[in-house]
Structure 1
């Protein structure tokens, strides 16, 4: 064996080891999930099951139109979770809202009280709003898992109920 080839082999082995380490760290969550998504309290216990591995998490608010606010959640600069708060015409059925929101269909599972429709990757709900900011409208919320988020039907059901409750206690409803 030539002396230079041993060094080359050692360098190659070190390089392969570093790739293996990088691959392992990409499989873990190296970030702390916030307890608020764009100003709305959401327990990390509810969002963690839906979030992928990565190094950093961030959020951004997107106000597309009056009466609609979107919270975009990113892991490593890739959108992985989206929350919506939307005012709709009073009396709008939840199924109609579900029909226009990605990742959930009007025929998906419903909670017994009829306030939420959910799937493994999306959910919508009607907010109980004691003093609505827009008294002539109804308030709805939605959440969806974007790729490479992790689908989880039970987690979506819990998340949409908690999110609707938090929004119901926000400035939109008090």
Structure 2
């Protein structure tokens, strides 16, 4: 006696195939949603400052922690010095090849003020951003300070005044952090070879 195997109707087979297809689509959709969720979570994680900050800005000593407070996150840091004649020099800081900060010094005539030094770059408010003596000013975007330079590298600079300023293209800190960096850079310039030449005496 032969056992008869019931034959599945075309309608039933199509229904099962459709069910499997729907289930597969649901699985793919769930995986996609999970992947997007994980991606969103990872993108929400704060970027880290993985680089090591230098101890000087192109020759001017600056505590790394003061510099790092203003710099944005990233992996690699490098500096680049550009000297314009005898009176100006700019030290640019790059994070992952993007310019993020400039430390600049400029020799000017004695009667010049902090406003003269930063007029093209910073809009300092005389009442809010500058000290009463008019020798130091800063905003969230940068600042400027007169630099005490008792022993300049060139004797002709004796009749000139040195200004040092910071421009933060991408400030990750506060206005107070910028103030600390401007002050530190000014102090570093005072102690640098530009102002403390060992080959000359006062």
Q: TM-score, normalised by structure 2?
A: 0.71
Residue 103 of structure 1, CA deviation? 3.1
1:135 matched to 2:154? The reply is: no
**Which of these residues, 165, 172, 189, is aligned with residue 167 of structure 1?**
189
The number of residues matched between the two structures is: 171
Give the secondary structure class of the aligned counterpart of 2:158: coil
Structure 2: distance between partners of 1:45 and 1:153: 15
Give the secondary structure class of the aligned counterpart of 2:65: helix
Structure 1: distance between partners of 2:190 and 2:91: 16
Structure 2: distance between partners of 1:20 and 1:76: 23
Q: TM-score, normalised by structure 1?
A: 0.82
Residue 39 of structure 1, CA deviation? 2.1
Q: List gaps (5 residues or longer) in structure 2.
A: 1-19, 197-202
Give the secondary structure class of the aligned counterpart of 1:110: coil
For the aligned residue pairs, the C-alpha RMSD in angstroms reads 2.6
Deviations 1:71-117 (Å, cap 9, x if unpaired)? 000111111111001111222122221323x1342535123543211
Larger radius of gyration: 2
Q: Which runs of 4+ in 1 moved over 4 A?
A: 4-21
The structure carrying a bigger strand percent of its residues is 1
What corresponds to 2:96 in structure 1?
76
**Residues 25 and 98 from structure 1, CA distance in 2 versus in 1: closer, same or farther, beyond 3 angstroms?**
same
Deviations 1:106-146 (Å, cap 9, x if unpaired)? 53512354321111111011001111232121111000110
What corresponds to 1:158 in structure 2?
180
Structure 2: distance between partners of 1:67 and 1:12: 59
